[in-house]
Amino acid sequence: MGVRIIGTGSYLPEKVLTNKDLEKLVDTSDEWIVSRTGIKERRICSDKEAASDLGIKAARRALADANVRVEDIDLLIVATITPDMFFPATACIIQTKLGIKNAAVFDLNAACTGFIYSLSTAQQFLQTGTYKTALVIATETLSKITDWEDRNTCVLLGDGAGAAVLRKQKGDSGILSCYLDANGQYGDLLNMPGGGSRIPATVATVKNRLHYLKMRGNETFRIAIPEMTKSVKRGLEGCGLNIEDIALLIPHQANIRIIKALAKRLSIPIEKVFVNIDKCANTSAATVAIALDEANRQGRIKEGDIIELVAFGAGFTWGSCVIKW
Ligand SMILES: CC(C)(COP(=O)(O)OP(=O)(O)OC[C@H]1O[C@@H](n2cnc3c(N)ncnc32)[C@H](O)[C@@H]1OP(=O)(O)O)[C@@H](O)C(=O)NCCC(=O)NCCS
């Protein structure tokens, strides 16, 4: 018996923000953004949309793809760093709006690695038989915590959501291994300082722009590459496979230079690496979930293919998930 992903879905907000648009906001250029990051445009949600709204749309598409009814979901995990509010959990908000009853529901915060942490968590519950059908949603509205005056970060981020439905089924397909890791020593390199119990919101915290995402990009970049490389290898070791076995690698989309360096270190041809950073930018936890759904719908994954998801994010957290489709 294997825990399989039986359906995927994603949703991108309608509004497209191009690099040219950003040139009007900060001192940057389309040329700099494309050459340094690979990003051409990103989606931005409306003032009325929150993380749950995006997540619900992605979830409905995943449920339709899986041909699973809402009533059958008994586990809901929502990966996000931009919840609708501190509490209740965005998972509870989505549960009610989707009409899920009698389910365990919770949010999971592992930043950009959130979808992989959530898949692994769902796999444990399904493998043990505690729950039968899991819905994993990764949804982010990073535009709401973006400092639109900071050119170091505002060009990198976007909004979106992805979802997957999982079930234990007969056969050898499904999640073969997950590798999860973290090192909290790097917490200061990528965070949002204000609004929590350490620095609660005050007029001063707003004035000092502490409610926005802060990143020391270059240092983050240099740690991301080796840790993502290690994650891919550890994932494969966990199920006795090799790089050559991978039909498609789906990495977190933070910077095309990170993705290319990863491919080079792994000696995997770039044609076997899924890339959508040009259109979506970095949507934190949602990134890998959206990419998985796009790859699935584009027919880039065939039944029986070995695929590997890999991500790296704030914490720092990192990890991978090897799947036989
Ligand atoms: C942010 C990032 C794109 C910056 O690229 P970089 O090659 O590291 O560039 P640096 O930070 O060294 O900056 C180089 C110069 O470009 C400038 N710059 C930064 N953002 C700019 C922008 N949007 N437009 C124009 N110039 C910019 C910097 O100010 C710096 O100028 P200086 O040399 O005069 O000081 C890159 O570091 C990155 O992608 N970081 C990590 C992302 C990541 O791993 N995320 C994973 C977790 S989500």
User: For the segment 154-173, what is each residue's pLDDT rounded down to a tens digit?
Assistant: 999 999 999 999 999 999 99
User: Whose Cα sits closest to atom 15 in ligand 1?
Assistant: 152
Question: Are 70 and 169 in contact, with CB atoms under 8 Å apart?
Answer: no
User: Whose Cα sits closest to atom 36 in ligand 1?
Assistant: 217
Reported confidence tier of residue 40, pLDDT bands at 50, 70, 90: very high
Residue 259 has what pLDDT?
98
Q: Tell me: the pLDDT tens digits for 182-224? A: 999 999 999 999 999 999 999 999 999 999 999 999 999 999 9
Q: Cα(232)–Cα(319) distance, rounded to whole angstroms?
A: 8
**Cβ–ligand 1 contact at 191 (below 6 Å):** no
Question: Out of 92, 112, 154, 280, which one is annotated catalytic?
Answer: 112
**Cβ–ligand 1 contact at 257 (below 6 Å):** no
Residue 28 has what pLDDT?
98
- Measured from the Cα of 155, ligand 1's closest atom is 23
**Is 211 part of the annotated catalytic residue set?**
no
- 56 CA distance to ligand 1 middle (Å): 33
Q: What is the mean pLDDT of residues 289-312?
A: 98
Coil/strand/helix, residue 264: helix
Reported confidence tier of residue 43, pLDDT bands at 50, 70, 90: very high
**Is 280 part of the annotated catalytic residue set?**
no
Interacting residues of 207 by C-beta distance below 8 A, sequence separation 6+: none
- 120 CA distance to ligand 1 middle (Å): 32
Q: Tell me: the pLDDT tens digits for 239-282? A: 999 999 999 999 999 999 999 999 999 999 999 999 999 999 99
**Which one-letter DSSP state was computed for residue 144?**
G
Coil/strand/helix, residue 16: strand
**Is 282 part of the annotated catalytic residue set?**
yes
Where do the domains of the chain lie, and which CATH numbers do they carry?
2-172 (3.40.47.10), 176-324 (3.40.47.10)
Q: What is the mean pLDDT of residues 79-108?
A: 98
Question: Out of 19, 255, 276, 282, which one is annotated catalytic?
Answer: 282
Coil/strand/helix, residue 133: strand
pTM across the whole model = 0.98
